[in-house]
Structure 1
Amino acid sequence: MDRDREAEREDRIANDIINDFEAEFHEGLKESKRVDIYNTEHLENQKRRDLETLKQAWINEKMVPTILPYEEELMKRMFERIRKQLEFIEMNNVELQTQEKDIKLILVLIESELERIQFMIRSYVRLRLRKIDKYALYIQEHEEEKDKLNNDEITYMEGHLSMQHGLFEEQFLKKMNLTRRGNLGEDKEMVVIPDKSFPVITSAIRDTYVSNASINEGSVYVAQWQEVSQGIAAGDLKIL
């Protein structure tokens, strides 16, 4: 009887994990068992929305010329789910060392899915760091641009600028017996500015207007970034 109950328990766990896997996100099974049906559906919907938001944030950062606001709350939820899932995997891996279980293959699938999500997060972060490297002086001069960074990114940018200033002084000014006047950013010719006329492809989420042109829901529209940036921020358009 104990063996039958153990088999039934393992089947339930396996089914729960498979359902979470198909939903593209996973949460600790212990937590999901302690909530009622309404809360479970709410959590599943939240996970799906978060995954779609992450995908779209990644696409947006990749396709537009300027740096976008950091998805602070989204990343907090993502990292918390990843942490819980890794704890679940580690807990079951310890048990697998003493007893073989059918759940082993499913754990491998979960690990693969987590790697995919972590890849997307790393790619998102790298895209932002590249823009910070390229537009550091511009971002530093514009408070509204600096507000788009999180604290770690601001620290990274300040370190990048400090290193850039030191390199400039060491490689050029000292060798030419010159003295740097002020900051590098004061020389406007040295400030790299994002090309806001860069073309982007968008899709209308709802009926809207772009540069006084009426765009119907579902329509695909190609325009300069400066023309559609407000529509993207308002949620009327999304980048493809």
Structure 2
Amino acid sequence: MEFDDILEEFERETRSHKYNEVEVKRSDFQELQNAWISERMCPELLDYKQSLIDRILSRIRVQIEFIEMNSIELQTTERDIKLQLMIIESELDRVNFILRSYLRTRLSKVDKFTIFIRNDEDLVQRLSPAETQYMESHFRALIDLYNSLFLSQLPEQLQALDDTGGGISMIEEPDLDRPVFVKVINDTIETIVIGEEEIDLIPGSIYLIRYSAVQRFVYNQDVLLI
């Protein structure tokens, strides 16, 4: 192989690597957007996107380090690097906004359905380690608050926050029958039966439908909440 051929092959591999890296970033950002929208639209808590969030946070750290290193040595005449830093900062702002909103949406559900989630091991598995720690801290704070306000003055058998006696549950649960908008992604979905009505979910179509009817399809990502 000639020297020029070696250089040409190296350039092809470099371009291919950069292209793949860009595609991975674009794919991860789209997945983050989908996870954010789904979490906001879904009445229940969905699985935490651990590997996706880890990849995005790793890129954020690298970009922040790049900005800090280049900002220190930045000269007023270096217009190219200024433009590059502005683009990176804009991208960081966009990703951080969606990421924060995603996490806040999840924590708001943890706040609202703390006892319900704690009583279901499958739901606990949907939390990240940090969210689990937050939930336990929130639960202890609730116990302390309610005890100081009124629970300690009630009979012992009436002090449980997860009491379901008398046909009335003290546990707040998500409304799984809430209507949601979904977009069908895959064409392998069977017919949905709601009452006496049969509904065929056509790929690419958008439906307003009871969440419980498409819950299992949301889990396996045959449909997306929008």
* TM-score normalised per structure 1: 0.79
Other-structure match for 1:189? 169
Moved over 6 A (4+): none
Letter in 2 for 1:196: L
Letter in 1 for 2:185: I
- CA deviations 1:177-236 (Å, max 9, x no partner) are 644666422346220011000111111112223514322211111211111121122221
Other-structure match for 2:196? none
Where 1:221 maps in the other structure, the secondary structure is strand
Q: Is structure 2 residue 52 aligned with structure 1 residue 80?
A: no
Instruction: Check 1:180–1:155 CA distance in 2 against 1; reply closer, same or farther (3 A cut).
Output: farther
Q: Is structure 2 residue 146 aligned with structure 1 residue 165?
A: no
Q: Is structure 2 residue 222 aligned with structure 1 residue 236?
A: yes
Paired residues of 2:151 and 2:159 also in contact (CA < 8 A)? no
**RMSD of aligned Cα (Å):** 1.9
**Alpha-carbon distance in structure 2 between the residues aligned to 1:180 and 1:106:** 64
Instruction: Check 1:40–1:106 CA distance in 2 against 1; reply closer, same or farther (3 A cut).
Output: closer
Letter in 2 for 1:185: D
Report sequence identity in percent. 34
- List alignment gaps of at least 5 residues for structure 1: 1-32
Paired residues of 1:210 and 1:227 also in contact (CA < 8 A)? no
Higher relative contact order (CA 8 A, sep 6+): 2
- List alignment gaps of at least 5 residues for structure 2: 1-10, 194-198
**Alpha-carbon distance in structure 1 between the residues aligned to 2:112 and 2:157:** 21
Letter in 2 for 1:50: D
Other-structure match for 1:100? 77
**Alpha-carbon distance in structure 2 between the residues aligned to 1:229 and 1:40:** 38
Aligned length: 205
Other-structure match for 1:16? none
Where 2:112 maps in the other structure, the secondary structure is helix
Q: CA deviation at 1:124?
A: 0.4
Q: Is structure 2 residue 126 aligned with structure 1 residue 145?
A: no
**Alpha-carbon distance in structure 1 between the residues aligned to 2:132 and 2:163:** 20
